Amino acid sequence: MTQKERVLRHIDDYGSITSMEAFNEYGITRLAARVSELRRDGVQIDSVRESTKNRYGEAVSYARYSRAS
């Protein structure tokens, strides 16, 4: 199974994926690149920016990807 297939399967099974989930579950370090490839292949994927604090209390933001509705 390719990384693109893993990303798409995760989105279909769980509704969305973040870069941390992609790394922890599948060892994918460049999620945005895989999403870009999927979009180029015609898959409609939305992204939403989310924010949280890291372990040092600093604000960080990241993208959560899901299928376009």
* Residue-range definition of the domain harbouring residue 16: 3-67
Residue whose pair of structure tokens reads 């279909």 in the numeric block:
12
- Provide the 3-class DSSP secondary structure of residue 52: strand
Q: Is the predicted pLDDT of residue 69 greater than 90, yes or no? A: no
Q: Do the Cβ atoms of 23 and 7 come closer than 8 Å?
A: no
Which two three-digit tokens encode residue 45? 């994927």
How high is the pLDDT of residue 65? 98
Query: How many independent structural domains does the chain possess?
Result: 1
How high is the pLDDT of residue 67? 97
Distance CA 44, CA 3 (A): 17
pLDDT interval class at 61 (50, 70, 90): very high
Q: Give pLDDT tens digits for 10-47.
A: 999 999 999 999 999 999 999 999 999 999 999 999 99
Dihedral sign of CA atoms 45, 34, 25, 64 in order: negative
- The amino acid sitting at 47 is S
Residue 21 is part of a domain; what is its CATH number? 1.10.10
